[in-house]
Amino acid sequence: MATDSKLPKVGTTIFSTMSQLAAEHGAVNLGQGFPDFEVPARLVDELERAMRAGHNQYAPMTGIPTLRTAIANKTERVYGHRPDADSEVTVTSGATEALFNAIHAVVRAGDEVIVLDPAYDSYDPAIELAGARAVHVALDPRSFAVDWAAVRAAVTPRTRMLIVNTPHNPSGAMFSAGDIDALQALLDDHPGIRLLSDEVYEHIVFDGARHESALRHPALRERAFVVSSFGKTYHCTGWKLGYCIAPPALSAEFRKVHQYNVFCTFAPAQHAFAAMLDAEPEHYEQLGAFYEAKRDRFREQLSGTRLQPLPVAGGYFQLVDYSAVSDLDDAAFCRWLTVEHGVAAIPLSPFYAQPPPGQRLARLCFAKNDATLDAAIERLRTL
């Protein structure tokens, strides 16, 4: 029986499609963004300890108190702001759930949400399911900088939310202090707009830069949902644990959606992360340096190929310009690269509502063991 789809434009994500294609053809998978190295040993030990201690039933809806307190401690340590663990911190089943909850907490049918393209692919479906409309504003097609005049021009009386993402997926671009000033000025002029700040790569920043979290800036955090991901920080994307920090009134609305979405999150992992945050803060403090070494090594290797790497300021993705290799569009190129040359990449066009004409960019993930990257480079040198 035919059914009218609520998401008629949505199919299988490009990440699942390319990972399946990689598996079918024995390709090195630099497409989907997941590490292939070990989770920190202490975290695994703490997870086992929590399960054996009997922490296997429902956790409190907002997250176990020790984890929310550990998140508040970490936030104060990193950003100089201590959120209230009881009223402002909510543990979620991954960052994607938190993004969905934040959108549905405040966005109503007929509203508009400004999205900066290229953008993570979960934003639009959540907006559409809320009965709202995504208004796409393109970033610069090479530097991925924000055109704040264009963002201002996109604001209408219906604008309810602005979504920002720094460090940015897929480009690795990061907000500067100037971006924060422009963002704050925009929101000051439009006090009814809520901010959703996707900061899942918050600790993966390079070259001595500072991550400009909304949590550092009082005028922003007072109107923002700030989302982070334990999976990205601790190399365990399959555990699906994240959190959202928001002021009490926004958190109250966020939790109304959360409790009828998943209600609560995997309890043993919450205990493990609480212990890990307290015992090894050096893990997240040193994460940028860990990935910076991987970035630098991978970029040096790419210099021996015909792919041209773009700058990467944060995150664990490397965009490459393949114009010297092929005139294929990005989807066709990534399929050809996977099937014919054994390296899976992600095309950039699925991150856009309207991709820039003639753009020849693909995304590679360098959150991999050296052996994985070496195998990929060996194949890419044959292009």
- Domain count along the chain: 2
Share of the chain above pLDDT 90, in %: 92
Residue 249: pLDDT over 80 = yes
Residue 278: pLDDT over 90 = yes
Single residue among 248, 264, 281 that ends a domain in this structure = 281
Contact 61, 270 (CB under 8 A): no
Run of H or E including 29: strand 28-29
Q: Which residues of 222-243 are buried (b: 16+ CB within 10 A; e: fewer)?
A: ebbbbbbbbbbbbbbbebbbbb
In a domain? residue 128: yes
Same domain for 314 and 277, yes or no, is: no
Same domain for 260 and 352, yes or no, is: no
Contact 345, 30 (CB under 8 A): yes
Provide the pLDDT for residue 2.
67
Same domain for 301 and 347, yes or no, is: yes
Contact 241, 46 (CB under 8 A): no
Q: What is the pLDDT of residues 286-335, one digit of tens each?
A: 999 999 999 999 999 999 999 999 999 999 999 999 999 999 999 999 99
Single residue among 281, 316, 339 that ends a domain in this structure = 281
In a domain? residue 219: yes
What value, to the nearest 5°, has the Cα angle with vertex 293 and ends 341 and 311?
A: 70
Share of the chain above pLDDT 70, in %: 99
Same domain for 100 and 149, yes or no, is: yes
Same domain for 196 and 312, yes or no, is: no
What global pTM score does this model have? 0.96
Burial group, residue 199, by CB count within 10 angstroms (0-12, 13-18, 19+): buried
Mean pLDDT of 188-196: 97
Q: What is the pLDDT of residues 132-175, one digit of tens each?
A: 999 999 999 999 999 999 999 999 999 999 999 999 999 999 99
Single residue among 281, 297, 329 that ends a domain in this structure = 281
Sign of CA dihedral 291, 281, 228, 23: positive
Same domain for 35 and 46, yes or no, is: no
Q: What is the pLDDT of residues 10-69, one digit of tens each?
A: 877 888 888 898 889 999 999 988 899 999 999 999 999 999 999 999 999 999 999 999
Residue (of 167, 127, 169) closest to 7 by Cα position: 127
Provide the pLDDT for residue 253.
98
Same domain for 252 and 116, yes or no, is: yes
d(CA 94, CA 370): 27
User: Which CATH number does the domain housing residue 126 bear?
Assistant: 3.40.640.10
User: Which CATH number does the domain housing residue 332 bear?
Assistant: 3.90.1150.10
Q: Which domain holds residue 107?
A: 41-281
d(CA 380, CA 373): 10
Average predicted confidence (pLDDT) for the chain: 96
